[in-house]
Structure 1
Amino acid sequence: MHWLSLAALALVAPSYALIRFPCAQLVIDRLDPLVTPGMIPSPHLHQIVGGNSFNASMDMEKDLPGESTCTTCQFSEDFSNYWTAVLYFKARNGTYKRVPQMANSGFNGVNGGMTIYYMQDGLYNFQQRSKVTAFQPGFRMFIGDDKARTAEDIARFRQLTYTCLKTIDTRDPQFLDFPKEPCPMGIMTALRFPTCWDGKNLDSPDHMAHMAYPESGSFETGGPCPASHPVRMGQLFYEVNWDTRQFNNKADWPEDGSQPFVWSFGDSTGYGNHADYVFGWQDDALQRVLDSPCYVNCPTLKTQGTARMNACTMKNVVPDDLNGWVTELPGGWVAGM
Structure 2
Amino acid sequence: MRYTFTLAISLLASAANALLRFPCAQLLIDRRDPLVNPGQSPSPHLHQILGGNAFNTTMDPSEADISKEATCTSCQFSEDTSNYWTAVLYFKAKNGTYKRVPQVPNAGFDGVNGGMTVYYMQDGLYNFQQTSKVTAFQPGFRMYIGDVNARTKEQAERFRQLTYTCLETIGTRDPQILDFPHGPCKAGIMTALRFPTCWDGVNLDSPDHMAHMSYPESGTFESGGPCPTTHPVRMSQLFYEVVWDTRQFNDPSDWPQDGSQPFVWSFGDGTGYANHADYIFGWQGDALQRALDNPCYIACPTLKNQTIAEMNKCTVERAVREDIDSWTTTLPGGHVANYGKW
Q: Which residue of 1 aligns with 2:159?
A: 157
Q: Which residue of 2 aligns with 1:262?
A: 264
The one-letter amino acid of 1:8's match is: L
Q: Secondary structure at the match of 2:104?
A: coil
Q: Which residue of 2 aligns with 1:72?
A: 74
CA distance in 2 between counterparts of 1:45 and 1:334 reads 13
Identify which range, 236-245 or 57-66, moves more after superposition. 57-66
The one-letter amino acid of 2:170's match is: I
Q: Deviation per CA, 1:99-148: give whole Å up to 9, x if none.
A: 00000000000000000000000101022110000000000000000100
The alignment of Structure 1 onto Structure 2 pairs a total of residues equal to 335
Q: Which residue of 2 aligns with 1:227?
A: 229
Q: Which residue of 2 aligns with 1:29?
A: 30
Q: Which residue of 2 aligns with 1:327?
A: 329
Determine if contact 1:81/1:279 at 8 Å carries over to the other structure.
yes
Q: Secondary structure at the match of 2:49?
A: strand
Using the TM superposition, give the Cα deviation of residue 313 of structure 1 relative to its aligned residue in structure 2, in angstroms.
Answer: 0.9
CA distance in 2 between counterparts of 1:4 and 1:58 reads 35
- Structure 1 runs (4+) deviating above 4 angstroms are none
Q: Which residue of 1 aligns with 2:299?
A: 297
Same amino acid, percent of matched pairs: 73
Q: Secondary structure at the match of 2:270?
A: coil
CA distance in 1 between counterparts of 2:259 and 2:252 reads 8
CA distance in 1 between counterparts of 2:326 and 2:311 reads 26
Using the TM superposition, give the Cα deviation of residue 314 of structure 1 relative to its aligned residue in structure 2, in angstroms.
Answer: 1.4
CA distance in 2 between counterparts of 1:240 and 1:156 reads 21
Residue 110 of structure 2 corresponds to residue 108 of structure 1: yes
CA distance in 2 between counterparts of 1:61 and 1:79 reads 17
CA distance in 2 between counterparts of 1:265 and 1:108 reads 29
CA distance in 2 between counterparts of 1:306 and 1:127 reads 27
Residue 275 of structure 2 corresponds to residue 273 of structure 1: yes
Using the TM superposition, give the Cα deviation of residue 8 of structure 1 relative to its aligned residue in structure 2, in angstroms.
Answer: 1.1
Q: Deviation per CA, 1:186-210: give whole Å up to 9, x if none.
A: 0000000000000000000000000
CA distance in 2 between counterparts of 1:40 and 1:122 reads 37
CA distance in 2 between counterparts of 1:263 and 1:251 reads 21
Residue 11 of structure 2 corresponds to residue 8 of structure 1: yes
Determine if contact 2:5/2:176 at 8 Å carries over to the other structure.
no
Q: Secondary structure at the match of 1:327?
A: coil
Using the TM superposition, give the Cα deviation of residue 61 of structure 1 relative to its aligned residue in structure 2, in angstroms.
Answer: 2.6
Q: Secondary structure at the match of 1:258?
A: coil
CA distance in 1 between counterparts of 2:295 and 2:205 reads 29
The one-letter amino acid of 1:5's match is: A
The one-letter amino acid of 1:74's match is: Q
CA distance in 2 between counterparts of 1:54 and 1:290 reads 25
Q: Deviation per CA, 1:253-281: give whole Å up to 9, x if none.
A: 11111100000000000000000000000
CA distance in 2 between counterparts of 1:322 and 1:155 reads 31
CA distance in 1 between counterparts of 2:90 and 2:269 reads 10
The one-letter amino acid of 2:74's match is: T
Residue 54 of structure 2 corresponds to residue 53 of structure 1: yes
Q: Deviation per CA, 1:296-329: give whole Å up to 9, x if none.
A: 1101000000000001111110112111101100
CA distance in 2 between counterparts of 1:15 and 1:58 reads 35
Q: Secondary structure at the match of 1:257?
A: coil
Q: Which residue of 2 aligns with 1:212?
A: 214
Where structure 1 has 5 or more consecutive residues not aligned to the other structure, the ranges are none
Q: Secondary structure at the match of 1:14?
A: coil
Q: Which residue of 2 aligns with 1:196?
A: 198
Using the TM superposition, give the Cα deviation of residue 83 of structure 1 relative to its aligned residue in structure 2, in angstroms.
Answer: 0.2
The one-letter amino acid of 1:334's match is: V
CA distance in 2 between counterparts of 1:333 and 1:232 reads 39
CA distance in 1 between counterparts of 2:59 and 2:12 reads 36
> 1:125-164 residue pairs with structure 2 within 5 A?
125-164=127-166
CA distance in 2 between counterparts of 1:192 and 1:140 reads 14
Q: Deviation per CA, 1:230-264: give whole Å up to 9, x if none.
A: 00000000000000010000101111111000000
CA distance in 2 between counterparts of 1:31 and 1:102 reads 22
The one-letter amino acid of 2:8's match is: S
CA distance in 1 between counterparts of 2:145 and 2:113 reads 25
Determine if contact 1:14/1:293 at 8 Å carries over to the other structure.
no
Using the TM superposition, give the Cα deviation of residue 3 of structure 1 relative to its aligned residue in structure 2, in angstroms.
Answer: 1.2
Q: Deviation per CA, 1:137-185: give whole Å up to 9, x if none.
A: 0000000001000011122210000000100000000000000000001
Identify which range, 76-85 or 64-73, moves more after superposition. 64-73
CA distance in 2 between counterparts of 1:205 and 1:2 reads 32
2:95 to 86, 93, 96: 93
CA distance in 2 between counterparts of 1:10 and 1:260 reads 34
